[in-house]
Amino acid sequence: MIFDWLPPTLIGVLLVLAGIGAVRRINLWRAGQSEKVDILAGLMAMPKRYLHDLHHVVERDKYMSRTHVATGGGFVLAMVLVVFVHLFGVKSEILAWALLAALVIMFCGALFVAKRRLNPPSRLSKGPWMRLPKSLLTFSITFFVLTLPAAGILPEGFGGWLLTVVLSVLILMSLGEMLFGMTWGGPMKHAFAGALHLAFHRRPERFGGGRSTGLKPAVLGGDVHGVSKPTDFKWNQLLGFDACVQCGRCEAVCPAFAAGQPLNPKKLIQDMVVGFAGGTDEKYAGSPYPDGSGGVQDVGNAVGGKDQIITNGLINPDTLWSCTTCRACVEECPMMIEHVDAIVDMRRFLTLEKGDTPNKGAQVLENIIATDNPNGYSPASRTHWAADQNLNVMKEVKQADVLFWVSDGAFDMRSQRILRSFVTLLKAAKVDVAILGDEERDSGDVARRLGDDATFQSLAKRNLATMSQYRFNTIVTTDPHAFHCLKNEYGDFGSTALDGVEVLHHTTFLNRLIKEGRLQLDAFSGGKVTYHDPCYLGRYNGEYDAPRELLASLGIEVAEMERSGYRSRCCGGGGGVPITDIPGERRIADMRMEDVISTGAEMVAVGCQQCTAMLEGVVEPRPVVKDIAEILAGQLKEMH
Amino acid sequence: MQPNVNVVSLVSIGRHPQSGRSRRAEQDGRAVELGLSLVGEALTVVHVGEDQDPVLRQYAGMGLPSMTVLSQGKECDALPVLTSFLKAQLPSVVLTGVRSESGESSGMLPYLLAEALGWPLVPRVAEILHIKDGQAEVLLALPRGQRRSVQVTLPFIASVDNAAQEARQTAFGPGLRATLHVETVDSVVDDAAIQWEMSAAKPRPKRLKVVKAKTAADRMKAATAKPVGGGGKIMKNETPAEKAQAIFDLLLEEKVVR
């Protein structure tokens, strides 16, 4: 047969081209900053990370997880067998039959991929992604026919040279997509970059059910702070961007995108790819950034290069300042890409290098630097809220069982009601508690999310130095943002102040008190109640149960919102977003209140003063907003 | 931008009114901002005092490649050092705040400098419109948002009012990397000042505000109307000698001169 050599040659050539593409792609990633990664351990852990952690996220969409298992699994198996059967010419009917089986599985999966693409939801990218199911189907059919003789179903040489040529053309088309496209930037790139991204992830703690949400500290004192150009990212961050499969799940959950603010996490990640690979975003085929006034921004004008400053032509700073750092995109991303890290990295450049924090940002940062609180109040008035509370101050008592971290809510009259309620509960349970009083400072949360890591680190170090003078076993705070900083971010500064100290949110702490029988509460009879999960309590710290158990202990059956738990929608108060205040079509807090109203609840319970402020900012009539501490304090049995 | 004009901004260590902590002084920041808008990075920013003060980095973070520090201790007088510095530099424009936020805070420095150098002083500037042919057109800030345009011959000293453009955000990185040119100077210890005893100011009792206006329109009028001087007198056609005599009489009457 004159053309028998053609299919194996094609397979071989495409494999080599894929190899060249892979080296080229790897070099693009290696242009990033160095980061210590255990390469071998990562590669070893990769299959488990893929099969367990990634699949766990994909499985939230059962249709897609089954489709992907069939298509992806079928393809990987088929590809390995194709190499043996068709490239190396291993004569084994068992292998050939196994290959046929793999191809059938893949074909079935590909049919469902094709079905999803018949009427794709808006979050999915179109363009080359619409071609993918056809390539998948072509691949499975082509190799099925090609393998039939090897399996002994058809005689050798069936169809003559004509079939061989036809099959060769189909091989070129489908295998081109699958192998060449995998490393040269086609849709299948997600498989190659994704697998390596799982292996070399910057937060390996996230795998195996772990959690890693604290931002990494910026290195202070270099030639540049934060990320100005794509090569300022760590190399494995660049790799992570490349892993994006453009499924748009991030887009579907992003509160800023829903509010019509100029942010779309998926587009952001694609722009990052444009940044380090060079070129423009004209090939992007997903939803564009909203323009802030009901329309969308044009696609195709963003230009990037690996040594070009990102905010000069690739991304508008407003896009970065729209993010509430709610982590919904990260939680939802099946590729476990870290959008929030990247956004804060770029914000660091804007704040620390350009001095360009929008709107009230500059003023707030200046206040934090000069007075340790964002509104510029006198640090000597921090404890005024507790003038009638008869609370122990650490400076006097030196030690206590519990340190109550009051947070900047001390300056805000609405938040003070939450603080007082919590103190009432602490006293009823006879907890040995003390506060830092005027020695407490802002936790640094806002400064850090606004990109000013210098100020955050300074605050963190000073707070740690203060705390190291005193002895306590537990820190409790009513502010999830301070909670997150204390628990997950203060550990990076080499202090022993928090060694052996348990950091708790007040809902967790109160739940323990109730379980220990130290609080006697009356049942609640105030109508239907729903619960809003604060991002920094839920997604950042995994505390979904304690608040619900507390409400249940009052006899409240929580009327859950559609988006609750790990899918909770942000209130719009995180990430310094109320300070930078980027215009949008709607307010995030209004949308969240619509979620609340749709449950028919008369009250929404919250566990965060920031959420309380945002939700209470929604115009009435609307359900009542109360912190769980306030609800509990209202049900406290009078002791006689 | 007029990069060929030599502009110097003088900065001091400010003091936050609530926390009492060192900071970039409000008006001095505006003096730097005004200087930057006039000549950009060609601006010379000078501080007299300790060269290790971290607040200097806050000024530098406004985008200054370098700053000049005339290094001397807290107990020394800034005036002689600045006078000799400016005599050597001969800038066209010197910008200062109206008064410092720490130290004596008398607001006298620009006046004393102007006197020592023999230059005109333009107090409470809101904006410098342009500098041309040895002349500058300057907008003075008057109460209630009013402005007065004046022509002044170079070189001159101007104190910058709170009405001037607010100081831009300071950026950590550039501030950290800026060069500080530290110059050792012949300092003069301020003998009078070290004798003084500093104590925290007591809040003065406030005069009760009696609202006389009966209607909203009256209140609006009171808040916006120009103050009408009762005993004022406009002299236009008199001779300069007569005008000077009138001023002298007024100063006598007000017991400014005796």
| ipTM of model | 0.89
pLDDT of residue B230: 63
Each residue of B142-185: pLDDT tens digit? Answer: 987 889 999 999 899 999 999 999 999 999 999 999 999 999 88
Q: At B228, is the pLDDT very low, low, confident or very high (cuts 50, 70, 90)? A: low
> Could you give the count of Cα atoms lying within 13 Å of A111 in the half-sphere of its Cβ?
6
Domain final position from A474, A502, A530: A502
A379 in contact with B at a CB cutoff of 8 Å? yes
Q: Which two tokens stand for residue B11?
A: 């900065």
pLDDT of residue A339: 97
The helix (H) or strand (E) run that includes residue A507 is helix A506-515
Shortest Cα distance from B75 to chain A (angstroms)? 25
Cβ contacts (< 8 Å) between B25 and chain A: which residues? none
Q: Which of A166-180, A314-328, B139-153 has the highest mean pLDDT?
A: A314-328
Average pLDDT rounded to a whole number, residues A334-340: 96
Each residue of A385-428: pLDDT tens digit? Answer: 999 999 999 999 999 999 999 999 999 999 999 999 999 999 99
The length of chain A in residues reads 640
CATH number at residue B27: 3.40.50.620
Shortest Cα distance from A394 to chain B (angstroms)? 21
Q: Are residues B19 and B63 in the same domain?
A: yes
Whether B138 is in a domain gets the answer yes
Cβ(A530)–Cβ(A605) below 8 Å: yes
Cα A568 → chain centroid: 13
Average pLDDT rounded to a whole number, residues A328-354: 96
Cβ(B183)–Cβ(B75) below 8 Å: no
Cβ contacts (< 8 Å) between B174 and chain A: which residues? 353, 355
Cβ contacts (< 8 Å) between B173 and chain A: which residues? 224-225, 352-353
Q: Which domain holds residue B242?
A: 216-253
Shortest Cα distance from B59 to chain A (angstroms)? 12
Cβ contacts (< 8 Å) between B29 and chain A: which residues? none
Q: Indicate if the pLDDT at residue A157 is higher than 70.
A: yes
Cβ contacts (< 8 Å) between B21 and chain A: which residues? 370-371
The helix (H) or strand (E) run that includes residue B132 is strand B121-132
What value does the mean pLDDT of chain A take?
94
Whether A68 is in a domain gets the answer yes
Q: Are residues A90 and A177 in the same domain?
A: yes
The closest CB to that of B18, out of A224, A362, A376, belongs to: A376
Shortest Cα distance from A363 to chain B (angstroms)? 8
3-state secondary structure B75-129: CECHHHHHHHHHHHHCCCEEEEECCCCCCCCCCCHHHHHHHHHCCCEEEEEEEEE
Q: DSSP label at A86?
A: I
Q: Are residues A237 and A185 in the same domain?
A: no
Q: Are residues B130 and B230 in the same domain?
A: no
Q: Indicate if the pLDDT at residue A1 is higher than 60.
A: no
Q: At A42, is the pLDDT very low, low, confident or very high (cuts 50, 70, 90)? A: very high
Strand partners of residue B70: B48, B183
Cβ(A423)–Cβ(A405) below 8 Å: no
pLDDT of residue A188: 94
SS3 of residue A304 by DSSP: strand
A positions 341-370 inside 8 Å of B (CB): 351-357, 361-362, 365-366, 369-370
Each residue of A361-391: pLDDT tens digit? Answer: 999 999 999 999 999 999 999 999 999 999 9
Q: Are residues B63 and B170 in the same domain?
A: yes
Q: Indicate if the pLDDT at residue A120 is higher than 60.
A: yes
Q: Indicate if the pLDDT at residue A41 is higher than 80.
A: yes
SS3 of residue A555 by DSSP: coil
Whether A71 is in a domain gets the answer yes
Q: Indicate if the pLDDT at residue B226 is higher than 90.
A: no
Cβ(A577)–Cβ(A249) below 8 Å: no
The candidate with the shortest Cα–Cα distance to A486, out of A530, A430, A546, A540, is A540
The helix (H) or strand (E) run that includes residue B251 is helix B240-253
pLDDT of residue A159: 77
A376 in contact with B at a CB cutoff of 8 Å? yes
Q: Indicate if the pLDDT at residue A165 is higher than 70.
A: yes
Whether A370 is in a domain gets the answer no
The helix (H) or strand (E) run that includes residue A224 is none
Phi, psi dihedrals of residue A349, rounded to the nearest 5°: -65, -45
Q: Indicate if the pLDDT at residue A272 is higher than 80.
A: yes
Q: Indicate if the pLDDT at residue B197 is higher than 90.
A: no
Q: Are residues B232 and B168 in the same domain?
A: no
Q: Are residues B133 and B32 in the same domain?
A: yes
Question: Cβ atoms within 10 A of the Cβ of A141, count?
Answer: 17
> CA B131, CA A607: separation in Å to the nearest integer?
59
Q: In degrees to the nearest 10, what's the CA dihedral of A161, A165, A170, A176?
A: 130
Q: Indicate if the pLDDT at residue A567 is higher than 60.
A: yes
Q: Which domain holds residue A570?
A: 515-634
CATH number at residue A589: 3.40.50
Whether A439 is in a domain gets the answer yes
The candidate with the shortest Cα–Cα distance to A436, out of A460, A470, A389, is A470
User: For strand B179-184 and strand B7-11, is the pairing parallel, antiparallel, or unpaired?
Assistant: unpaired
A350's torsion region: left (phi>0), alpha (psi -120 to 50) or beta? alpha
Total domains in chain A come to: 4
A372 in contact with B at a CB cutoff of 8 Å? yes
A positions 211-230 inside 8 Å of B (CB): 220-221, 223-225
> Which percentage of chain B shows pLDDT scores above 70?
97
Phi, psi dihedrals of residue A169, rounded to the nearest 5°: -60, -45
Shortest Cα distance from B216 to chain A (angstroms)? 29
Q: Among A223, A228, A366, pick the best mutation site for testing chain B contact (most B Cβ within 10 A).
A: A366
Q: Which residues contact B4 (CB under 8 A, 6 or more apart)?
A: none
The closest CB to that of A355, out of B19, B168, B177, belongs to: B168
The closest CB to that of A352, out of B18, B168, B171, belongs to: B171
Q: At A551, is the pLDDT very low, low, confident or very high (cuts 50, 70, 90)? A: very high
Cα B243 → chain centroid: 29
pLDDT of residue B192: 84
Cβ contacts (< 8 Å) between B172 and chain A: which residues? 220, 225, 351-353, 452, 454
Whether B241 is in a domain gets the answer yes
A351 contacts B171? CB cut-off 8 A: yes
A378 contacts B19? CB cut-off 8 A: yes
Q: In degrees to the nearest 10, what's the CA dihedral of A612, A615, A616, A618?
A: 170
Q: Which residues contact A485 (CB under 8 A, 6 or more apart)?
A: A443, A444, A445, A448, A460
Phi, psi dihedrals of residue A574, rounded to the nearest 5°: -90, 170
pLDDT of residue B2: 66
Shortest Cα distance from B91 to chain A (angstroms)? 29
Cβ(B93)–Cβ(B156) below 8 Å: yes
Q: Indicate if the pLDDT at residue A96 is higher than 70.
A: yes
Q: Are residues A55 and A144 in the same domain?
A: yes
What value does the mean pLDDT of chain B take?
90
Q: Among A223, A224, A225, pick the best mutation site for testing chain B contact (most B Cβ within 10 A).
A: A225
Q: Are residues B221 and B99 in the same domain?
A: no
Cβ(A578)–Cβ(A506) below 8 Å: no
Q: Indicate if the pLDDT at residue B13 is higher than 80.
A: yes
User: For strand A402-405 and strand A474-477, is the pairing parallel, antiparallel, or unpaired?
Assistant: parallel
pLDDT of residue B229: 61
Phi, psi dihedrals of residue A484, rounded to the nearest 5°: -65, -45
Q: Which residues contact A442 (CB under 8 A, 6 or more apart)?
A: A368, A372, A373, A374, A408, A459
The closest CB to that of A370, out of B23, B172, B173, belongs to: B23
DSSP string, A281-292: STT--S---B-S
Q: Tell me how far apart the terminal alpha carbons of chain B are, to the nearest angstrom.
A: 47
A221 contacts B19? CB cut-off 8 A: no
The closest CB to that of A353, out of B19, B62, B173, belongs to: B173
Comparing A195-204, A527-536, B194-203, which segment has the lowest mean pLDDT? B194-203
pLDDT of residue B206: 83
Q: Are residues B223 and B170 in the same domain?
A: no
Total domains in chain B come to: 2
A361 contacts B169? CB cut-off 8 A: yes
The candidate with the shortest Cα–Cα distance to A246, out of A129, A143, A350, is A129
DSSP string, A393-431: EHHHH-B-SEEEE--GGGG-HHHHHHHHHHHHHHHHTT-
Q: At B91, is the pLDDT very low, low, confident or very high (cuts 50, 70, 90)? A: very high
Whether B208 is in a domain gets the answer no
User: For strand B7-11 and strand B44-49, is the pairing parallel, antiparallel, or unpaired?
Assistant: parallel
Average pLDDT rounded to a whole number, residues B215-244: 80
> CA A106, CA A72: separation in Å to the nearest integer?
7
Q: Are residues B223 and B189 in the same domain?
A: no
Each residue of A428-472: pLDDT tens digit? Answer: 999 999 999 999 999 999 999 999 999 999 999 999 999 999 999
Q: Give the torsion sign (CA, B18, B23, B24, B27).
A: positive
Q: Are residues A61 and A190 in the same domain?
A: yes
Cβ contacts (< 8 Å) between B61 and chain A: which residues? 355
Q: At A90, is the pLDDT very low, low, confident or very high (cuts 50, 70, 90)? A: confident
Q: Are residues B18 and B91 in the same domain?
A: yes
The closest CB to that of A355, out of B16, B21, B170, belongs to: B170
Q: Are residues A56 and A180 in the same domain?
A: yes
Cβ(A16)–Cβ(A184) below 8 Å: no
